[in-house]
Structure 1
Amino acid sequence: MAKINLLPWRAERRKQRQQEFVAMVVASVIGAGIVFFLILQYHNGQIEGQQARNQLLQQEIRQVDTKITEIEALERTRAQLIARKEVIEQLQASRSQMVHLFDELVRSIPDGVQLSSIQQSGRQLTLEGHAQSNARVSAYMRSLEASEWMTSPDLSIIEARDGPNALPFAFILRVQMATPGQNEDSGVIIDDGTAGGAL
């Protein structure tokens, strides 16, 4: 019976299978590398696109911030101009007030009353003087109450002091300045630096 030696064929077959396996592994690695590279490129493209959009948004935000700053500066300038306009309107509305006030002070003083001092603090006038009697001071307060330019007279002090012989009673009277046609809430308040000083 003839004997056939299959060892060389089996070895060659094993070697061929090993080569095929190695080739498949190499092909798989290369394929996986290509797929990974493509995926990496895709993600890099997405990231670069998002970064470009972010940069565009940041530029737009900076432009908007600049415009907001300009608008705020314009608002401050507008507020300052409105404040100046209101002050000018207040001055225009009340420039004759002091003239009318002094005229009204002269007209409202009854006989037997003499003023020695007039002081202004904001909208309040403090009147100091002497009178013949308490009744004269009461008459003076009624006269002030009837005035269009003064309101709410408030007697702080009335007492007998050393003074003119005919005017033995000293008094301190406070009265609020008023503007005809305006209520106290909408009255014009002017502070010209003389508040608290003698008129």
Structure 2
Amino acid sequence: MLLLEGCVQPVMSPNINAATARVLDALGVQLIAAPKAGCGVTVKDYGHLLAGDPAYADKARIVSELARDLSEVIEPFAGELTAMTRGRLDRRVTWHPPCTLQHGQKIRGKVEAILREAGADVKLCADSHLCCGSAGTYSLLQPVLSKRLRDAKVARLEAAGSEVIASTNIGCLTHPQAGTKVPVRHWIELIDQALPAA
């Protein structure tokens, strides 16, 4: 499977792609990295964005049809993953679904189900559909509003009373982490930690 490494994630949190590779390797899926490739929600939208381009419309449609979020790749392996983790992820986790996943890609419920299968007690915070304030460069261009959104989201996430907050977008990991002492981790890192030692 071709892995889009992402724009800033490999620099800010290189363990995410390493954990992804380990989990997929355990499931028999080999990754080939495409360095400096961007956002999954944008790649999935190529077919729409380039529909009127005679040179790229067909190619873009094919790329969009092939693009999958990590949760979509892992979901068919849920039974195997459950057998491997054997409930080792015995933690209370609050899931923070990023806007790119729940609104952009219209993916809801998959990550939570995967984490539950691995043994986690997964909660959603109140108003989980609301943005954390990261929104790509929004946190840099609108710092006052961004911090206000982050603080409101963090208050809701902390109120769920979990040991760890899980998300999937690099902005939705780093931005809330700046406002809380509760660890904020990519969900694949939690699955990786639950795998048996090699």
Q: Which has the higher contact order (CA 8 A, sep 6+)?
A: 2
Normalised TM-score (structure 2): 0.19
Q: Which has the higher strand share?
A: 1
